[in-house]
């Protein structure tokens, strides 16, 4: 069973809106990842808003091991967006049928497409027919517990030319509540001959092994687990597939990595927007470091780059923590 473009190792980064931007994907990829996926783009907006240089760069067009994820509800715009993106150098296009957000599903796209399989297949056929590069699909188990139709959709998607399917082990109506049902993904694995990737609640090598064993999937896709730990995919790949072990930064090396990510975010977004975007990433790094509340507040309430650069090294250095403050 062959992954599109022979992606290896089969430990992939999930698309997460507002999180897996280009600087973050680049950092994860430097540690090691079989595939990173861009944040979802709406096909209609891509066609009408004439994206600028930063927005085009955001997709990682032409970057090896990067997939561009698109969403939409109409076959024509989906096909045209796919054609444009492929023409600009995309290596893989992924179709989003898994996003549970209300603003997406109320527009009859994302996981709402699982309620209308015939229409969903028309979109899939349009995208596959529009490009010569591999097209993949990401879905959930179904809309709700009464509509667990991932397997029949996957069968039809494979017949339409989809080359890989990622399944988040929840229904849309679960959002991110409860636990991902990795065993339920096996129905999809048994229904198709293309690679299936398990997604949902995979946060370390132990959960990755369980997800693979219970689902029978050929790979895993990890999302929230990388927050504050951009080396996680490489670490899991090492423990499961024997790839080279990543050098996990500690002490001053960890601080330097965080500062480098911060600088990359500011350079990509500009100072004003970058300050806001970076806060969540800095918060996750401080979660990983165990930063005490007083030092954490100093970073997250900083009003300028200069204030942040003063507060951040101390917040990541246990020897500088004044836990009594």
Q: Is 138 known to sit in a ligand binding site?
A: yes
| SS3 per residue for 37-85 | ECCCEEHHHHHHCCCCHHHHHHCCCCCCCEEEEEECCCHHHHHHHHHHH
Q: Is 313 known to sit in a ligand binding site?
A: no
Q: Which long-range contacts (CB under 8 A, 24 or more apart) does 256-260 make?
A: 257/27, 257/230, 258/282, 258/285, 258/312, 258/316, 259/309, 259/312, 259/313, 260/27
Strand partners, 69: 94
Q: Tokens standing for 297?
A: 């507040």
Q: Is 15 known to sit in a ligand binding site?
A: yes
The closest alpha carbon to 88, from 53, 115, 37, belongs to: 53
- Distance CA(38)–CA(55), nearest Å, equals 11
The closest alpha carbon to 200, from 219, 228, 180, 226, belongs to: 180
The closest alpha carbon to 2, from 192, 163, 174, belongs to: 163
Q: Tokens standing for 165?
A: 């399917």
- Distance CA(160)–CA(268), nearest Å, equals 37
First vs last C-alpha separation in the chain: 57
Q: Is 4 known to sit in a ligand binding site?
A: no
Q: Is 16 known to sit in a ligand binding site?
A: yes
Among candidate residues 90, 93, 99, 157, the one labeled active-site is: 99
Q: Is 159 known to sit in a ligand binding site?
A: no
* Phi, psi angle pair for 16, to nearest 5°: -135, 115
Q: Is 168 known to sit in a ligand binding site?
A: yes
Cis peptide before 9 (omega within 30 of 0): yes
Is 173 an active-site residue?
A: no
Q: Tokens standing for 39?
A: 């944040």
Q: Is 224 known to sit in a ligand binding site?
A: yes
Q: Residue positions in the annotated binding site for FMN?
A: 15-17, 69, 138, 168, 223-224
List residues with catalytic annotation: 99
Q: Residue positions in the annotated binding site?
A: 15-17, 69, 138, 168, 223-224
């Amino acid at each position: 069973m062959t992954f599109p473009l022979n992606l290896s190792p089969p430990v992939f980064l999930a698309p997460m809106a507002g999180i897996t931007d280009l600087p973050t994907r680049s950092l994860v990829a430097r540690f090691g990842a079989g595939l990173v996926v861009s944040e979802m783009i709406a096909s209609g907006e891509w066609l009408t808003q004439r994206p600028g240089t930063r927005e085009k760069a955001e997709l990682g067009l032409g970057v090896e091991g990067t997939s561009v994820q698109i969403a939409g509800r109409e076959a024509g715009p989906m096909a045209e967006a796919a054609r444009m993106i492929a023409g600009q150098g995309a290596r893989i296009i992924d179709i989003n049928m898994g996003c549970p957000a209300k603003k997406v599903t109320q527009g009859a796209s994302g996981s709402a497409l699982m309620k209308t399989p015939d229409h969903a297949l028309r979109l899939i056929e349009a995208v596959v027919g529009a490009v010569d590069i591999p097209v993949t699909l990401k879905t959930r188990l179904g809309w709700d517990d009464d509509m667990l139709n991932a397997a029949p959709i996957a069968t039809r998607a494979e017949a339409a030319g989809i080359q890989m399917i990622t399944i988040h082990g929840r229904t849309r109506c679960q959002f991110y509540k409860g636990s991902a049902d990795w065993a339920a993904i096996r129905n999809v694995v048994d229904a198709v001959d293309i690679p299936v990737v398990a997604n949902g609640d995979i946060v370390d090598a132990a959960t990755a092994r369980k997800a693979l064993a219970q689902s029978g999937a050929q790979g895993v896709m990890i999302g929230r687990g990388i927050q504050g730990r951009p080396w996680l995919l490489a670490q899991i790949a090492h423990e499961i597939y024997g790839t080279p072990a990543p050098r996990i930064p500690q002490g001053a090396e960890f601080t330097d990595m965080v500062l480098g990510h911060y600088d990359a975010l500011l350079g990509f977004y500009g100072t004003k927007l970058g300050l806001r975007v970076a806060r969540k990433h800095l918060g996750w790094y401080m979660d990983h470091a165990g930063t005490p509340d007083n030092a954490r507040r100093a970073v997250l309430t900083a009003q300028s780059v200069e204030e942040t650069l003063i507060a951040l090294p101390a917040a990541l250095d246990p020897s500088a923590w004044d836990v009594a403050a």
